[in-house]
Amino acid sequence: MNSFRLIYDVVKRIPRGKVATYGQVARLAGNRRWSRVVGFALHVNPDEENIPCYRVVNREGRVSEAFAFGGGNRQIELLRADGIEVSDEGIVNLEKFQWEEGLYLYEME
């Protein structure tokens, strides 16, 4: 619950034109093993207008299959609207578009 708040806070901080991975969000939220919890937190997504869950992708830079929250590949269009390159398969080039914040942080436990 409090963990969810931290996770949402991190996701809200993702700048436009950048994406973050689940593990990255988990690390910034305070515990890198929360990757699974991050997925669930975004699953409930209580405030989808302020929580850009479409900017969160998995470690491979791929959007999740169960991501059809608004309908089909709408998240891909949202990402492209942010200026992010997304392949038709829903793959994002993390080398170019991954959010820099937190990458230099190691352990926060």
Partner DNA sequence: CAGTTGACGGCCC
Partner DNA sequence: GGGGCCGCCAACT
The residue ranges that bind DNA (CB under 7 A) are 1-4, 21-23, 26, 31-45, 53, 58-60, 64, 66-67, 69
d(CA 52, CA 106): 25
> Minimum Å distance from CB 25 to DNA?
9
Q: Which of 20, 28, 38, 53 is catalytic?
A: 53
DSSP output for 6-29: HHHHHHHTPPTT-BEEHHHHHHHH
6 counts as catalytic: no
Q: Cβ of 78: how many Cβ atoms within 10 Å?
A: 17
Closer Cβ to DNA, 33 or 87, answer by number: 33
Instruction: List active site positions.
Output: 53
